[in-house]
Structure 1
C-alpha cells in the first residue's frame, strides 16, 4: 500500500463529507455502560511529538471545544489489535503469559522501527495524524504476529475488522454536531503537511483496553523493550 495515496484519498473523501454535513458522531464515548474491551499491542509516540499534536488540537479546541480530544496519555499507534474490543470481554477469559510468549517470538530478529509523523488526515468521524514507517519493520512485525497467532489456539481477532496497514494516530472524535465545519477543515488544511516529528520505537506495550484507549480503563499487561 502507498500510505501517502491512502491518506490523501481518505482525506479527500472525508473532508468533502464533513463539509457536506455527512460526518458521523460517536454516541458511545460518554456511555458509562460501554463494556467493549479488548487486548492491543501498541506504540506510544515520544513527548516531543505529543506536544506538537497538542498544538494542533489547541487550534481545533479554540473553534470547537465540544468534540472529544485525546489527551497525551491516550495517544497511540495500534501495532496490532490482538482481540478487537467487544462487549463483555474480560481478562479472566485468557492466559496472558501465552500471548506474551507469542509476541516475544514475533519480535525476534526485528529491525529498528522508526516512524515519521507528517500531516493530518480524516475519516467521517475522526481526525488523525498521518504516520509513515521509514521501512518495512512494522509491517514485518505485523506479518509475524499474524502468522504466529494463527498457528496458535489462543483467542484472537487479528484482521477481523480490517487488515491493519497504517501507522496513524487518532486524535479527535466527533461527539457533537460540528459548530463550524469550514473552520475545522481550514485548520486541518493548515496542518496537512505539518512535521510533527520522527521517533525510533524503544518500547511496545501489550494492554487491556476500552474502545478509546482511555488511560483510566487501561491495564498494562507487558512491555517489550526494543
Structure 2
C-alpha cells in the first residue's frame, strides 16, 4: 500500500462528505449506556509529538469546542484490534496470559521502527494524524499476529472491520454538527502540510479498552519492550 496516496484519497473523499453535510456524528461518546469493550495492541507516540498535536487541537477547539478531542493520555496507534469492542465483553471471558504469549512470540523478530507523524487526514467521522513507517516491520508483525491468532482457538476478531495497514492516530471525533465548518476546514487544509515529529517505537501495550481508548476506562494488561539495536 502507498500510504501517502491512501491518506490523500481518504482525505479528499471525506472532505467532500463534510462539505455536503454527509459526515457521521457519533452519538455514543457521552452515553452512559455504551458498554463496548475489547482488547487492543497499541503504540503510544512520544510526549513531544502529542504536545505538538495538542497545539493543532487547541486551534480547532477555539473554532468548535463541541467536538470530541483526544487527550494526550488517549492518543495512540492501533497495532492490532485483537478483540474489537462489542457490548458486554469482559476480561473474565478470556485467558489473557495466552494472548500475551502469542504477542510476545510474534515480537521476537521485530525490527527497529520509527514512525513519522506528518499532515492530517480525515474520515467521514473523525480526523487523524498521518503516520508513516520507516520500514515494513509493523505490517510484518501484524501478519504474524493474524496467523498466530487465527490458528489458535482464542476469541479474536482480527480484520473483522478492516485489515489495518496504516499507522495513523485518531485525534478528533465528530459528536455534533460542525458550527463553523468553513473555518474548521481552513485549519485542516493548513495542517495538510505540517510535521508533528518522528519517534522510535520502544514499547507496545496490550490494553483492555473502551471504543475511544479513554484513559479512565483503559486497563493495561501487559507492556512489551522492543529491542532496538
TM-score, scaled relative to structure 1: 0.99
Counterpart position of 1:150? 150
Q: How does 1:39-50 map to 2 (within 5 A)?
A: 39-50=39-50
Residue 63 of structure 1 and its aligned partner are, at CA, apart by 0.4
Counterpart position of 2:119? 119
Q: How does 1:156-175 map to 2 (within 5 A)?
A: 156-175=156-175
Residue 134 of structure 1 and its aligned partner are, at CA, apart by 1.0
Local SS of the residue matching 2:156? coil
Residue 89 of structure 1 and its aligned partner are, at CA, apart by 0.3
2: CA distance, partners of 1:69 / 1:109: 36
Local SS of the residue matching 1:21? coil
Local SS of the residue matching 2:216? helix
Q: Which runs of 5+ in 1 are unaligned?
A: none
Runs of 4+ in 1 over 6 A off after TM superposition: none
Query: Aligned-pair RMSD on alpha carbons?
Result: 0.6
2: CA distance, partners of 1:225 / 1:107: 9
Residue 183 of structure 1 and its aligned partner are, at CA, apart by 1.0
Counterpart position of 1:13? 13
Counterpart position of 2:221? 221
Residue 112 of structure 1 and its aligned partner are, at CA, apart by 1.0
2: CA distance, partners of 1:149 / 1:183: 45
2: CA distance, partners of 1:33 / 1:24: 20
Q: Which runs of 5+ in 2 are unaligned?
A: none
Deviations 1:107-163 (A, max 9, x none): 011101210100000011111000011110101110110111111110000001100
Residue 20 of structure 1 and its aligned partner are, at CA, apart by 1.4
Residue 177 of structure 1 and its aligned partner are, at CA, apart by 1.0
2: CA distance, partners of 1:60 / 1:100: 38
Deviations 1:154-209 (A, max 9, x none): 00000011000111100000001101111111101100020000000111000000
2: CA distance, partners of 1:124 / 1:162: 16
1: CA distance, partners of 2:23 / 2:76: 23
Counterpart position of 1:54? 54
Local SS of the residue matching 1:53? helix
Local SS of the residue matching 1:216? coil
TM-score, scaled relative to structure 2: 0.98
2: CA distance, partners of 1:78 / 1:162: 12
2: CA distance, partners of 1:196 / 1:60: 16
Counterpart position of 2:70? 70
Counterpart position of 2:183? 183
1: CA distance, partners of 2:15 / 2:121: 9
Q: How does 1:89-100 map to 2 (within 5 A)?
A: 89-100=89-100
Q: Does 1:28 align with 2:28?
A: yes
